Amino acid sequence: MPDGGLIRKMWMGEAHKYRDHLLRLDTESRTRRFGGGVSDDCIRDYVDTSMWFDTIVHGFFVDGMLRGAAELRPLCGTVTKEAEAALSVETEWQGHGVGSALLERTLLTARNRGITHLHMACLAENRRMQQLARKFAAELSFSFGGVVGEVEAAHPTPLSVVREMVSDGHGFATAVLEAQSRLFKVT
Ligand SMILES: CC(C)(COP(=O)(O)OP(=O)(O)OC[C@H]1O[C@@H](n2cnc3c(N)ncnc32)[C@H](O)[C@@H]1OP(=O)(O)O)[C@@H](O)C(=O)NCCC(=O)NCCS
């Protein structure tokens, strides 16, 4: 993980940070994140309409700026508890383990929500995402020219619940300290 980087869950009032991060992705990363080319307006609508009620987003922050994110979105209408995960890391921070750390936290959260299947859709040529999914024992199967990685998450244990609580507590404390230090710089 790059120096000074922090991963924590994002809050409802931070949707604008997620939107701006997605807008900053370079063309190739944006295409890979959304499985095709999308306009700036599409990204704005996406964040406005589909975020925050049952979606959990982990953010990777450097100096208070969101540089990477992992979205966990439960899929409605499925008998088994299934969810979709999507990752994005800005170009300058790719290849430093941020994606791996984000996916690890997302898997822990999914596990503690009893989600048994986690789908990660990515384009067939997205070798980096496939390599990342493989690291977490994902099984890849081809469908409609794309690749769907499915991870079977284990059931929650007291330890996995505590691990998430400790991570959340640490993330919250660091975010408060960061906000305070920004306030002192302004005043
Ligand atoms: C996919 C993505 C999230 C990965 O994040 P990252 O921070 O670059 O990931 P990591 O640094 O943890 O590296 C993941 C693995 O990919 C490997 N990798 C790096 N470049 C690679 C390449 N060109 N081909 C194959 N594997 C590659 C790394 O070696 C690493 O595996 P290792 O730890 O076994 O060595 C990031 O590149 C990204 O945002 N891409 C654009 C959006 C996207 O593709 N999203 C996925 C669709 S949901």
Q: Which of 21, 23, 104, 128 to mutate to test the pocket of ligand 1 (most atoms within 8 A of CB)?
A: 128
Q: What is the pTM of this model?
A: 0.86
Tokens describing residue 127: 């070798």
Q: What is the pLDDT of residue 115?
A: 83
Residue nearest to atom 9 of ligand 1 (CA): 99
What are residue 59's phi and psi, to 5 degrees?
-115, 145
- Residue 70 Cβ contacting ligand 1 at under 6 Å: no
Ligand 1 centre and the CA of 158: distance in Å?
A: 31
Q: Which of 25, 132, 136, 151 to mutate to test the pocket of ligand 1 (most atoms within 8 A of CB)?
A: 132
Q: How many domains does the chain have?
A: 1
Print the domain residue range for 37. 5-186
- Residue 62 belongs to a domain with what CATH number? 3.40.630.30
pLDDT tens per residue, range 74-124 = 887 555 578 888 999 999 999 999 999 999 999 889 888 888 778 887 787
Distance between CA atoms of 141 and 133, rounded to whole angstroms? 12
Dihedral angle sign, alpha carbons of residues 164, 167, 173, 178 = negative
Residue nearest to atom 18 of ligand 1 (CA): 128
What is the band of 13 on the pLDDT scale with cuts at 50, 70, 90? confident
Ligand 1 centre and the CA of 93: distance in Å?
A: 10
- Residue 103 Cβ contacting ligand 1 at under 6 Å: no
- Residue 85 Cβ contacting ligand 1 at under 6 Å: no
- Residue 95 Cβ contacting ligand 1 at under 6 Å: yes
Q: What is the pLDDT of residue 28?
A: 95
Tokens describing residue 3: 């120096």
Instruction: Return the half-sphere exposure (C-beta side, CA atoms, 13 A cut-off) of residue 157.
Output: 5
Distance between CA atoms of 118 and 81, rounded to whole angstroms? 9
